[in-house]
């Protein structure tokens, strides 16, 4: 299986100069203003590495799901053109209540409240904090199945916060921006397999509504088992806060 972490590791030598250019130039770009940053003096977009920079295009990936007995399940194509092309392709944005893809660019997503989660390769984000203005927060619950979670916790929610006090990137070991999802997978150095942890993620919105999300597979395309970043996931709506 292809290692999704090859993007930040293999290409780090030539990505570093590009990151410096992005960080130096983006502070004067009017489209990159931070909607919900922890510090008004630091734009989260300027700390993103080149392979996760904001793209002025809409993802070509699809959200293919069906709902039965209150559970929505299916696939989310976050392949972003594959490992070598991912740097030039955007995140895919998902509305978990509607069960649909939100056709929006990375730039427009920063000020949009229409999406809940965003995915690109092994990077997951929630619409709040450094990632967007949607007011979402997320709690991580240890659970092997979605059925185990019947209500959201009273506390323990976090927003995306990948910008340090010094305006640098706080990242996961593989280089992804560190978000409220945390290090959501286990990685096998021998087989390069990415395996989702036994966790359920509860997304809470500003109106008190909650959705429980379970990621079942990172390589979830049965017709192409080695195709990574093709998520198989399931979610359901929980009682509101």
Q: What pLDDT is attached to residue 200? A: 98
134 lies in a domain? yes
Average pLDDT, the chain: 88
Q: For position 40, what pLDDT does the model report?
A: 58
Task: Give phi and psi for 52, each to the nearest 5.
Answer: -125, 20
Residue 1 within any structural domain of the chain: no
Collect all residues with Cβ–Cβ distance below 8 Å to 235 and sequence separation of at least 6: 71, 72, 73, 96, 146, 211, 212, 213, 214
Mean pLDDT for 139-154 is 97
Q: Which residue has the tokens 């000020």?
A: 111
Q: For 47, list phi and psi in degrees, rounded to 5.
A: -95, -5
Judge contact between 176 and 183, C-beta under 8 A. Answer: no
pLDDT tens-digit map of 9-53 = 333 333 333 333 333 334 333 333 344 444 458 999 999 999 999
Domain that holds residue 109: 6-238
Angle at 239 between CA 102 and CA 213, to 5 degrees: 45
Among candidate residues 129, 104, 124, 125, the one with its CA nearest the CA of residue 114: 104
Overall number of domains in the chain: 1
Window from 3-12, 22-31, 91-100, 165-174 with minimum mean pLDDT: 22-31
Q: Which residues of 68-96 are buried (b: 16+ CB within 10 A; e: fewer)?
A: eeebbbbbbbbbbbebeebbebbbbbbbb
Higher pLDDT, 21 or 157: 157
Residue 61 lies in a domain: yes
């Amino acid at each position: 299986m292809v290692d999704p972490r090859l993007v930040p590791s293999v290409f780090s030598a030539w990505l570093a100069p590009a990151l410096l250019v992005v960080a130096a130039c983006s502070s004067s770009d009017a489209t990159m203003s931070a909607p919900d940053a922890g510090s008004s003096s630091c734009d989260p977009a300027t700390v993103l590495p080149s392979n996760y920079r904001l793209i002025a295009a809409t993802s070509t990936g699809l959200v293919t799901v069906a709902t039965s007995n209150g559970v929505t399940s299916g696939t989310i194509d976050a392949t972003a053109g594959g490992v070598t092309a991912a740097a030039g392709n955007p995140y895919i944005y998902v509305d978990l209540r509607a069960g649909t893809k939100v056709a929006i660019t990375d730039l427009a997503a920063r000020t949009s409240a229409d999406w809940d989660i965003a995915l690109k390769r092994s990077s997951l984000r929630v619409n709040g904090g450094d990632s967007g203005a949607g007011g979402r927060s997320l709690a991580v619950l240890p659970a092997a199945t979605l059925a185990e979670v019947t209500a959201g916790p009273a506390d323990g929610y976090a927003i995306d916060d990948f910008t340090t006090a010094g305006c640098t990137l706080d990242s996961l070991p593989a280089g992804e921006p560190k978000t409220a999802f945390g290090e959501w997978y286990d990685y096998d150095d021998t087989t390069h397999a990415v395996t989702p942890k036994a966790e359920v993620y509860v997304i809470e919105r500003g109106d008190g509504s909650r959705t429980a999300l379970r990621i079942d597979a990172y390589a979830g395309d049965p017709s192409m088992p080695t195709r990574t970043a093709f998520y198989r996931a399931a979610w359901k709506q929980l009682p509101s806060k």
